[in-house]
Chain A
Amino acid sequence: MTASILTVDDSPSIRMAIRIALTGAGYSVQEAGDGVEGLAKAEASRFDMIVTDLNMPNMDGLTMIRELRKQPAQAGIPIIFLTTESDADMKSQAKAAGATGWLVKPFVPEQLVKVAQKVLGR
């Protein structure tokens, strides 16, 4: 079955880039524009993986990851966050919040697909 991935980012263009990359690699992708929406969508249907930005309006990525990991149903779901090279601090914070891995911006689609394949094993 196709793995389904939720991408959470306030930038429509980044969401589009992610959607194109992942659907191009055969995954099915849903989008959310901020942490609140991401949380709601993740609660509503089970995803195989979540890709999220950290800086977002309404609810940032860190908070969303923490909220998700509080829920037993979300345990073990890989969560990949997007970060910039300089955000070493953000990286450790996000990992402490329960993220699985990260992708450094800017990234090429190939890297994202590799990460997806890595954490999903398919």
Chain B
Amino acid sequence: MQLADLADVGATEAHGIAWSERGEVEVLTFELSGEVLAIEAIRVFEILDVLTDTVVPGAPPLVDRIVNFRGKIIPVADLRLAFGMERAEQTVDSRIVVIELALDGEVTLLGLWADRVLEVATFVRSQCEEPPMVGMRWRREYVRYLARRPNGVAIVPDLRTILETVFFERAGS
């Protein structure tokens, strides 16, 4: 596994966001246990209705499910576990957001659980803040930005760091 390749998607820089010249970025927002998360829309491959998942015994808990996505077997990650939330039951609104990642130099698909997909929105640079050094519920390195929205805050997760940690933890165990 080449960690350096993780999440190195499209024109996106290592941990950064591909801001346009006008300082904007399109994101897909979704709900996870009451929090709103936002990921760059350019990474989103497809949004699926929930499929029956299969547990992979021995896999890192964050990525311990696989599903049949049109004949391909793809892993599904539960970002709740990265943000200290409990796993939750699926509902009629649950979706799997499929994103593209470069793993070992090959483009791989990864699913992300979502309780509800909200919308494609445009974030401007000025509404996004680096996470504060203290006083946050979440591991700071997992949060790329906190984006102010009319009715709250959206977390822009640092997928690269989150997934790297999965690997380090597995390697360490």
Smallest Cβ distance from B46 to chain A, in angstroms?
15
Is the interface on chain A under 10, 10 to 19, 20 to 34, or 35 or more residues?
A: under 10
Q: Nearest residue in B to A36 (C-beta to C-beta)?
A: B11
Enumerate chain B residues within 8 angstroms of A60, measured Cβ to Cβ.
none
* B105 adjacent to A37 (CB under 8 Å): no
Known contacts A12-B106, A33-B10, A41-B11; 5 further A-B pairs (Cβ under 8 A): A12-B107, A16-B105, A37-B10, A37-B11, A40-B11
Smallest Cβ distance from B86 to chain A, in angstroms?
38
Smallest Cβ distance from B21 to chain A, in angstroms?
11
Give the dominant DSSP class at A's interface: helix
Smallest Cβ distance from A68 to chain B, in angstroms?
17
Interface residues of B in 106-125 (CB under 8 A from A): 106-107
Q: Nearest residue in B to A44 (C-beta to C-beta)?
A: B11
Interface residues of B in 6-27 (CB under 8 A from A): 10-11
Enumerate chain B residues within 8 angstroms of A12, measured Cβ to Cβ.
106-107
Enumerate chain A residues within 8 angstroms of B105, measured Cβ to Cβ.
16
Enumerate chain B residues within 8 angstroms of A37, measured Cβ to Cβ.
10-11
Q: Nearest residue in B to A16 (C-beta to C-beta)?
A: B105
